[in-house]
A and B are shown apart, each in its own frame.
Chain A
Amino acid sequence: MTALSEFVRVSERFARSSNLERDTARVEPLEGYVVTARALDVVQRISSAAISGPAGGAWSLTGPYGSGKSSLALLLDAAFGPAGQTRDAALALLNSGSDAGLQVGDAHSHHRTEQRGFHRGMVTACREPLTLTVLRALQTAVCRSYGKIPPIRSFPAAKVLRQALEDAEASVLDPRRTGPSPAGLLEVAQCLAADGPLLLVFDEFGKNLEAVADRAATTSSDTDPYLLQQLAEAGQGHGLPIFILTLQHQSFDDYLSAVEIPKRREWAKVQGRFEDVAYVESPAQTRALIGSVFTVDDEKLLSRIQRWARPQSKAMQSLGVADLADPAVAASCWPLHPVAAVVLSELCRRYGQHERTLFSFLTGQEVAGKNGFLATTDLPNRGTPPVLGLDDVYDYFVGSGGLTAMTAASSSRWIEIATRLRDAHGLSDRQLRVAKTVAMLNLVSTSGTIRASEHVMELIEPGTGEILDELCESGIVTYRSFSDEYRIWQGTDVDIRSLVEEARLQVQRRGIFEVMSSMSDPQPVVAARHSAKHDCLRVFCQRFVSCNDKADPLDAFSPYDGQVLLVVDGDQPPPLANIPVGGAKPTVAAIPRVEDMVSVEAAARELVSLQRVLQDSVVESDWVARHEMSERLAVAQVAFEQAVFIAFSSGSCRWVLLEGDAEEDLRAGRGSSVLSDASDRAYPSTPSIPNEMINRTHLTSQGAKARRMLIEAMIEHGSEPLLGFEGNGPEVAMYKAALSHTRLHLREKASGQMAFKAPSGGEAAKKLLPAWTVLASEFDRAKRRRVNLNDIIASLQSPPIGMKAGVVPVMIVAGLLTHRDVIAIYEHGTFRPQLTSDMAERMVKNPAFFEIKHFANASGARKQVVNALAERLGIQDKEQTQGAAPNLLVGNVLSVVSDLVSRVRRLDNFTQRTRNLPPSVLTVREELLRAVEPDDLLFVSLPEAFNLPPVKTTDDSYSKAKYLATEVSNALETLEVTSNQLLSEASELLIASGGGTSRETVVERAASLDPEVLDSTIRPFVLALANDGTDDDLAWIATIATVVSQKSPAEWTDEDSGRFRRTLPQQMAAFERLLALYAESIAGREGKDIDCAREACDRQQHDECTATPTALSVTVTRPDGREHARFVNIQADLRDDLTEVLDEAMAKVELMVGSGEKAQQALLALIGERVLEGFKDE
């Protein structure tokens, strides 16, 4: 037996890759080159252009990696080059099977270049400006034709060329130089073309385009497109014979996707000058190429192969693969199995670099190499010749990682299959072979006839059904009935395709706006120029709208400063609904061009269709399908966003500013300039607050904390420099930006202290003034009725001010502090006498709960009353003593009412509740406690309390002003002494109950009782009486009152007070009885009276007395819980005798009960019972 390699020749067709500079003018690269149909097409295009007239032409070849573009360039270079071996080789290749070689010959004769050939500039582009690439191409062409740069007399453009080369060198060294001038390059090209036809080939032209995209970010002008355009135009029509060929992987536009629209349009114009040629081979063409790789010369083997090919081609016919239905083609593919040939071409197209990968496999180590299939497989003497099957293809491509470049969309299936097979252990060789075959089919299967169906498997290797069953059983392979296919990858039974089709149909029926209304809106955009100029970020939200629906303008509380309406279904802006109160934020409509919208619509419909499929319950429950749909959805999402980006880019659509019924077209500039224009118009009075932390819509938590500290300091330390802050915290930065920089917080000349003032002087103050004026006018509006704080915020946030929500509270607090003498604040409708920091916190959070009202300085009769009250209440004095710091100011309704209300709210609960007051005082108290309207209170309710007429605004004077002031003041004073009055009365009552002595005697007498022997019911009372810890009579009686009533007098009601009056005398009586008993016991024991006991004894003796008391307090508790306490004592002279009696009794009882302790208890119980009988009547 002999190895197959002995019988098969393999054409060295493609080197792995070609390089223009390296391989030009050599014969070797052309050896084994097989001219593909596409290559022929290109050659024919160029030669027919060359034959048909004096001019040239321009073509742009777009083809994937490895499709043989560079090799084609080499072929062109040879064919259009000078006469010689290389050109002959090229023409021979072209003439085999076509007349393209002859056409090239005609082209040469037409231009009289039979000998010297065309001028040829072949370059591979780099990531560089096009001028440099063109220069290199021209330089190559000149040098190849002339050997060197010729003198100026034979080549007029020589000087220009030299200059261009110098410029190019300079620009490489110093990027600021512009490099060779396009005009000069054009001149060189024209000069060359005037001498003879010029062929310029730019391989890897995409690199130039990438460079354009790079530069787009940094420079605005670009000469590249003009140069290329002019070169192309120079060779067209009646121009010079300039032939330009650019070779790239994708279209111009794809390279430039990141470039701004205007620039892309310029390039689109350039591409229009080029004829597009798609350089992709069809699968059939690829298979024809496969056929050309292997040559079999042995006749016997050939006939064996043909015999083998016949049934194969029939089978391929049944599968609908037309080209392989020809037995000759099928035979030419041998040793590849026809199915392998089909799969291989698809595999390389989908996962590899096209022909390059394909031929690397066929002509490389794996098949033709020393250890390849041909060398290691023997040809049997008879029967079917050995065939390279799909399992071999698998080993190369998947098993050994022969493919690395994979696209994301297809790699997941690839990885899944490879992993599954790699991890499948314990398979027989045959099983493994079948599994690999299935794997390969799975990889390329697009539900066509070539798939891992039983039929196809049987064709590839008869008798696999059983093995497939085994594989199914072991779980390696699954049979998917819906597609009649065995699968290695998990796959899904869900028929995604028809689901998608169905969804598309449904979506197609709906209007585009309806489709797009389900999309999330595009990201908001910043009006950059305006924002930078005013230190204030202006953000526009964007949303899709229909031109037929009324669009709502943004309200003042929207976090955005304006909106962009992206019109999706027409060429008119939508009508605007009613403008909200406070003025509308700007609304700009963007109307795209019809052609741009077409792609948006298509992308949107696709996206929504896929979304619908993903939400389908069948897909939701199948993770494979879900996974696949998610991937597709992500791709569709990107496509949609890209389409939207292009359609609604600044330069490509019409921008209309909508103001009520008026519409005005805005001039589209770069980037967001349209929105900056709109912002400039809407917000001419933007204040300058140069602090990002506060001058924004939503504060960070740190920012919110700093602002809270700032507002608190404004209220509590307004008179201090820097509001009393130290250091450089964020609150200080906020202070400087919002209050100091704007000159809102300044030193007052009169007082020399810091205070809040209307802004004046300085640029920032000037810019704040419009906002301050709006605030002031809102305060003014509050003269007529209460104004909700939200209305004020709305007017500050709306045009023309557009103040950011973060700053607004600071401005409002500054305004309230500046106007604190005239602005009343209501929270939940309740009048608040002064602005406190806790209130400000709530105000920031829920401004809608707050209202303000302006109380201008009163005049006429009212002024008279206010002044009288202020004088009587001493408000003037307060002002003078406290300087500018206090929260209350002089001489108007608010300061007087605030003072009154604060005073009455400080009263204790008893005073606030008691009814035991004169009726007028009660009325004053009630009115002050529920004060709602300061002027009603002052001018109606308070006079009424004293039966006086109301103080009318229309009156000039009020005769009872002083009387009223005195009465009100008296009433307040009465209230303020009420609680002390209560205690004084309690004190008098106590002293009186105690026999009319003084506090000191009560304290002394109580102290004489030993608390240790007192009963717990009386002990606290006695201790309270004995309390000498305070010098204050009222504090003393308060303690006693608290102990007696179990309630602080401050919390008493009138009932508590009455109860105290009844209880106290009883308690005092008990105290007196106790004193008497105690005095008696001591007197009895010592034979002295109580005074003697305390005063005549020295301290030591007294201590002894109390240490061994003769009087005992005995408490007996009844079974029902009632207790009886008694002091008992023994006369000292009887003590010894009585002890003797007790001892005798104890001894007797001890005999009866057993122990001394029991005896004591028994006797005690007995005596207790007797005592209780004595207590019966109590």
Chain B
Amino acid sequence: MSEQTQAVDDVRHICGISGGKDSSALAVYLKDSVPQMEYFFCDTGAELPETYEFLARLEVILGKPIARLNAERGFDHWFEIFRGALPSPQMRWCTKNMKIKPLEKWIGDDPAISYVAIRADEANRKGYVSTKPNIESQFPFVEDDIDHAGVMRILDDAGIGLPAYYEWRTRSGCYFCFYQRKAEWIGLADRHPELFERAVAIEQKVLQDAGVSGDADFGDQAMKGRQYTWSGGETLVQLRARRDEILERNEAALSHSSRSLSNLPLIDALADAFDEEDDSAACTVCAL
């Protein structure tokens, strides 16, 4: 690989950072071998504080800035443009407008090599592999046989560790991500009550503290009268009221899975406890 990348040419070398462990490890891993690497992060403006903090840490470690794509047109922007019509699995404007489009605009028509953080032990996972002809994808972890342990080692060595949200959540992404589990919503309510409140407001088509004049209410606008809920079948307020029940069931699921999978770090235990599919399957681009 080093032969390919050391040659200085017009090809851009890009590495997407999702805010999760794998892509961060890849960035660190390639830091020296691909010095011309451009790191990018598609910013929704609604990431968890832990993610932003982690990115800042990573930037220091990488010794260069991570390009924040889409910084001007984050979730709040689109929420206003769509006048309160929220993204959902059926209408995933979030991914399209805040991830794919900004990325494709940023890359433009330049020939580029995109380094994708798929590990050797998850060769079946589908990452975001661009369909644009000018982008070639490479999978260094697969090529160099780096697995989960290897990734942890890279992060440990860099002294960067894991993003703090792994203590209560299995993936990066928006604080109100509609793919997060009910227990994770409870986690949000516990760790970031102000963000939880903001998500509650958004659910009611209100953007809190849009400016000095206060909230921006879209209740009378798009899809008037239709109650969207972030989490299936109940509003966040109802979900929070079931806090103990949700946590109890979460514990049960956890202990069930840890019987067969002992000594796993929490994040892996969580991931295995809840979904058989990889945690990136829900939102491949978000976990880019």
Contact of A1048 with B158 at beta-carbon distance under 8 Å, contacts A846-B80, A849-B210 already known: no
Kindly provide the distance from the CB of B189 to the nearest chain A CB, expressed in whole angstroms.
23
Q: Is B83 part of the contact surface with A, judged by Cβ < 8 Å? A: yes
Is residue A1019 within 8 Å, beta carbon to beta carbon, of the partner chain? yes
Nearest-neighbor residue (CB-CB) of A1041 within chain B = B60
State in angstroms the CA–CA spacing of A836 and B159 once bound together: 39
**Quick check: is B149 within 8 A (CB to CB) of the other chain?**
no
Question: Are the C-beta atoms of B72 and A836 separated by less than 8 Å?
Answer: yes
Tell me the smallest distance from the CB of B168 to a CB of chain A, in Å: 17
User: Contact string, A1035-1051, partner B, CB cutoff 8 A, digits 1/0?
Assistant: 10011011100111111
Closest to B207 in A: A828
Distance from A36 Cβ to chain B, minimum over Cβ atoms (Å): 67
CB-CB under 8 A for A1038 and B60, given A828-B216, A829-B212, A1043-B160:
yes
Shortest Cβ distance from B156 into A: residue: A1016
Q: How far is the CA of A1046 from the CA of B157 in the complex (A)?
A: 13
Bound Cα distance A845, B161 (Å): 43
Query: Which of A755-763, A804-812, A1020-1028 has 4 or more CB atoms under 8 Å from chain B?
Result: A1020-1028
Q: Is the CB of B216 within 8 A of A841?
A: no
With a cutoff of 8 Å between Cβ atoms, the chain B residues found around residue A845 in the complex are 80-81, 83
Q: Tell me which residues from 61 to 89 in chain B have a Cβ below 8 Å from any Cβ of chain A.
A: 61, 63, 72-73, 77, 80-81, 83
| B32 beta carbon closer than 8 Å to chain A | yes
* With contact pairs A1021-B159, A1051-B56 given, residues A830 and B77 touching in the complex (Cβ less than 8 Å): no
Q: Contacting A1023 at CB < 8 Å: which of B77, B158, B161, B213?
A: B158
B56 x A1048 contact (CB < 8 A): yes
Q: Please tell me if the beta carbons of A1046 and B77 are within 8 angstroms of each other in the complex.
A: no
Task: Tell yes or no: B139 within 8 A of A by CB.
Answer: no
A827-B211, A1047-B53 as given contacts; A1023 in contact with B60, CB under 8 Å: no
A844 to B281 Cα, complex, angstroms: 36
Asked if A849 and B216 make an inter-chain contact with CB atoms under 8 angstroms apart, the answer reads: yes
CA distance A1035 to B62 in the complex (A): 10
Q: A411 CB to closest chain B CB, in angstroms?
A: 44
**Is A505 in contact with chain B by the CB < 8 A criterion?**
no
- Report B31-73 CB contacts with A as 1/0, cut-off 8 Å: 1100000000000000000001100110111010000000011
Q: Is A1011 an interface residue (CB 8 A)?
A: yes
| CB of A752 within 8 Å of the partner chain | no
Q: A842 contacts B60, CB within 8 Å?
A: no
Given that A1042-B60, A1047-B57 are contacting pairs, would A841 and B211 also be in contact in the complex, using a CB cutoff of 8 Å?
Answer: no
Which residues in B have their C-beta under 8 angstroms from that of A837?
72
A1046 to B213, Cβ gap below 8 A? Answer: no
Q: Are B159 and A1020 in contact (CB under 8 A)?
A: yes
Cβ–Cβ contact A846 & B59, under 8 A: no
Interface string of A928-968 (1 = CB under 8 A from B): 00101000000000000000000000000000000000000
Which chain B residues lie closer than 8 Å to A1041 at the CB level?
60
CB distance from B3 to the nearest CB of A (A): 21
Give Cα distance in the complex from A1029 to B33, angstroms.
Answer: 12
Closest to A1032 in B: B63
**Most interface-central of A1016, A1041, A1046 (chain B CB within 10 A):** A1046
Is there contact, CB below 8 Å, between B161 and A1046? yes
A1011 touches B157 (CB 8 A): yes
Interface residues of B, CB < 8 Å — how many?
Answer: 28
| B130-162 residues at the A interface, CB under 8 angstroms | 156-161
| Contact in complex: A1020, B212 (CB < 8 Å) | no
A829 contacts across to B, CB distance below 8 A: 211-214
Q: Which chain B positions have C-beta within 8 A of A826?
A: 211-212
Q: Which of B60, B80, B212 has the most CB of A within 10 A?
A: B60
Shortest C-beta distance, B246 to chain A (Å), equals: 29
A1030 beta carbon closer than 8 Å to chain B? yes
**Given the complex, which residues of B lie within 8 Å of A1120, measured CB to CB?**
none
> Which chain B positions have C-beta within 8 A of A1178?
none
Bound Cα distance A472, B264 (Å): 77
Interface string of A816-852 (1 = CB under 8 A from B): 0000000000111110000011100110011001000
Once bound together, how far apart are the Cα atoms of A642 and B56, in whole Å? 72
Q: Once the chains bind, are A1048 and B210 in contact (CB under 8 Å)? A: no
Instruction: Give the nearest-CB partner of A1019 in chain B.
Output: B157
Chain A nearest CB, measured from B198 CB (Å): 15
- Looking at the assembled complex, report how far the CB atom of B75 sits from the nearest CB atom of chain A, in whole angstroms: 12
Residue pair B81, A830 in contact (C-beta under 8 Å): no
Given A838-B77, A1011-B157, A1021-B159, A1048-B57 contact (CB < 8 Å) = yes
**Complex partner residue of A838 from B72, B83, B211, CB under 8 angstroms:** B72
Q: Which residues of chain A are within 8 angstroms of B213 by Cβ–Cβ distance?
A: 828-830
Once the chains bind, are B83 and A846 in contact (CB under 8 Å)? yes
| Nearest CB of chain B from residue A77's CB, rounded to whole Å | 74
A1075 to B201, CA, bound (A): 56
Q: Which of A191-206 contact B (CB under 8 A)?
A: none
Q: Is the CB of B77 within 8 A of A1051?
A: no
Name the distance in Å between B278's Cβ and chain A's nearest Cβ. Answer: 27
Q: Which partner residue on chain A sits nearest B77 by CB separation?
A: A838
Smallest beta-carbon distance B91→chain A, Å? 16
Q: Are B211 and A830 in contact (CB under 8 A)?
A: yes
Which residues on A sit within 8 Å (CB–CB) of B32?
1029
Q: Are B159 and A1023 in contact (CB under 8 A)?
A: yes
Contact of A1030 among B59, B63, B157, B216 (CB under 8 A): B63
A1039's nearest neighbour on chain B, judged by CB, is: B60
Which residues of A have CB within 8 Å of B56?
Answer: 1042, 1047-1048, 1050-1051
Nearest CB in chain A: distance from B287 CB, A: 22
Q: Please judge, given known A-B contacts A841-B77, A849-B210, A932-B212, whether A1020 and B59 are in contact too, CB under 8 Å.
A: no
Give chain B residues whose Cβ lies under 8 Å from the Cβ of A1043. Answer: 61, 158-160
Shortest beta-carbon distance from B166 to chain A in Å? 13
CA distance A93 to B56 in the complex (A): 113
Q: Which residue of chain B has the shortest Cβ distance to A851 in the bound complex?
A: B213
Q: Which residue of A lies closest to B211 (CB)?
A: A828
- Contact (Cβ within 8 A) B158 A1020: yes
CA distance A153 to B210 in the complex (A): 101
Smallest CB-CB separation from A1029: which chain B residue? Answer: B63
Contact check: which of A830, A1024, A1048 meets B53 at CB < 8 Å?
A: A1048
Give Cα A1030–Cα B156 distance, bound, in whole angstroms.
21
How far does the alpha carbon of A1049 sit from the alpha carbon of B60 in the complex, in Å? 9
Q: Would you call B59 and A1048 a contact (CB within 8 A)?
A: yes
* B81: A residues at CB distance < 8 A: 841-842, 845
Residues of the A chain whose Cβ atoms lie less than 8 Å from the Cβ of B80: 842, 845-846, 849
A828 contact set on B, CB distance < 8 A: 210-214, 216
Q: How far is the CB of B5 from chain A (nearest CB, A)?
A: 16
By a CB distance below 8 angstroms, the chain B residues around A846 are: 80, 83, 216
A849: B residues at CB distance < 8 A: 80, 210-211, 216
Query: Smallest CB–CB gap between B51 and chain A, Å?
Result: 11
Task: Please measure, in the bound complex, the distance between the C-alpha atom of A1042 and the C-alpha atom of B28, giving whole angstroms.
Answer: 14
- Measured CB to CB, the closest approach of chain B to A617, in angstroms, equals 26
If A838-B73, A846-B83, A849-B80 touch, whether A1046 touches B57 (CB-CB below 8 Å) is yes
Return chain B residues, CB-CB under 8 Å to A932.
Answer: 212
Instruction: Evaluate contact between B157 and A1023: CB separation under 8 angstroms.
Output: yes
Query: Which partner residue on chain B sits nearest A849 by CB separation?
Result: B216
Q: How far is the CA of A827 from the CA of B207 in the complex (A)?
A: 13
| Bound CA–CA A1042/B158 (angstroms) | 10
CA gap between A374 and B32 in the complex, in Å: 111
Residues on B with C-beta less than 8 A from A1039 are: 60-61, 63
Contact for B63 among A836, A1020, A1035, A1047, CB less than 8 A: A1035
Bound CA–CA A849/B53 (angstroms): 32
20 CB < 8 A contacts A-B: A826-B212, A828-B213, A828-B214, A830-B211, A841-B77, A841-B81, A849-B211, A849-B216, A1011-B157, A1020-B156, A1020-B159, A1023-B158, A1024-B159, A1038-B60, A1042-B159, A1043-B160, A1047-B57, A1048-B53, A1048-B56, A1049-B60
Which A residues are within 8 Å of any B CB, using their own CB? 826-830, 836-838, 841-842, 845-846, 849, 930, 932, 1011, 1016, 1019-1021, 1023-1024, 1029-1030, 1035, 1038-1039, 1041-1043, 1046-1051
Closest 8 CB pairs of A and B: A828-B211, A1020-B159, A829-B213, A1048-B56, A1043-B159, A829-B212, A830-B211, A828-B210
